[in-house]
Amino acid sequence: MNEHEMTGEQGRPIRSAGVRLVPSAITVLAMCAGLSAIKMALDGSVGLAIALIGAAALLDGVDGRIARLLDATTRIGAELDSLADAISFGVAPAIVLYVTLLTGNNFGWVVALIFAVSIVLRLARFNTLIDDTEAPAYHKDYFVGVPAPAGGLIALAPLAAYAQWGAGWWSSFPLVVIWMVIASALIVSRIPTLAMKQVSVPPRMAVALLISVALMAAGLVTYPYILLIAVVFLYLAHIPYAVHTKRWVAARPETWHIPPAERRALRRSNAQRRSLARLGLRRSKPRGRSSRVAGRGRAR
């Protein structure tokens, strides 16, 4: 223990004030990235605007983990995180899209307002659900609706296509409006989505994960806009899986306190048994007394 730490009554180290401010500092950086994205869009730098909102999403995913690692979670940090998310993933994407693809149309501004308000409503609901102590244990494995960082990146998909391929049907006013309305609906919906912090990778998939990370790093350097579009559609494609798994868990209270990895193993084993049954390969059950009696009757 160094001179910057003290020991509490239970022998637990009390972090210095400077260390406890690290997660909040990262949150402020994320908020500054979101606000700077608006400036870049106003200056005509579409690529930098997208990159800054992406950087805000990465910082948002880091600050909470660092707060837990440093045992520096505070109520003010949680409130600051929500305010930063509202700016970086609600206000910033809405204004960036308005000044690039929706400019010159009053209805485009209405759609931008709808999107920003959807993010704020989603964050308000998230804060109320945190205090719900009566929710089943498995609820922490899922978000209610699309989280704010994912929602902000989903909304930027048409802009990423515009930055990659120029003007086209993907950047037309009607499509962008429809896309933003769909994104807003997903954000405020009650559709379950997986909480990434609860996702675990089995050891046998470690090599595949590392290869995927390498491919994503290469894509980030060479084709960043295509990578963003691919990540957005992969995320949208996981939603039916999240809905299915949450229904499966909700119908089986005995699995509510089981870790997600063990629940996945149970689902796989059940799926394998159903597949064998459909193929007629299910193991035959041991013959009971009634079967033996019937057998004797037939033998006679």
Which residues lie across from 237 on neighbouring strands?
none
Spatial contact of 175 and 237, defined as CB atoms under 8 Å apart: no
Count of positions (residues) in the chain: 300
Residues 6+ apart with CB under 8 A from 38: 49, 91, 92, 95, 96
Q: What is the pLDDT of residue 175?
A: 96
Backbone angles phi, psi at 234, to 5 degrees: -65, -40
- What residue has token string 């180290």? 13
pLDDT at residue 272 in the model: 66
Alpha helices in the chain (DSSP H): 17-20, 22-42, 46-69, 75-86, 92-100, 106-130, 148-155, 157-165, 173-188, 206-222, 224-237, 239-250, 260-278, 289-299
Q: Tens-digit pLDDT profile for the chain (300 aa)? A: 444 444 444 444 445 666 778 888 899 999 999 999 999 999 999 999 999 999 999 999 888 788 778 777 777 878 888 899 999 999 999 999 999 999 888 999 999 999 999 999 999 988 887 766 677 777 788 898 999 999 999 999 999 999 999 999 999 999 999 999 999 999 999 999 988 766 666 777 778 878 888 988 888 889 999 999 999 999 999 999 999 888 888 888 877 777 777 777 777 777 667 666 666 665 544 444 444 444 444 444
What does the pLDDT read at residue 268?
Answer: 73
Cα separations in angstroms, 258 against 153, 203, 263: 32, 19, 6
- Sort strands 142-144 and 192-194 into parallel, antiparallel or unpaired: antiparallel
The answer to pTM > 0.85 is no
The bridge status of strand 13-14 relative to strand 192-194 is unpaired
What's the pLDDT at 11?
45
Q: What is the CATH number of domain 13-257?
A: 1.20.120.1760
- What is the pLDDT at residue 110? 96
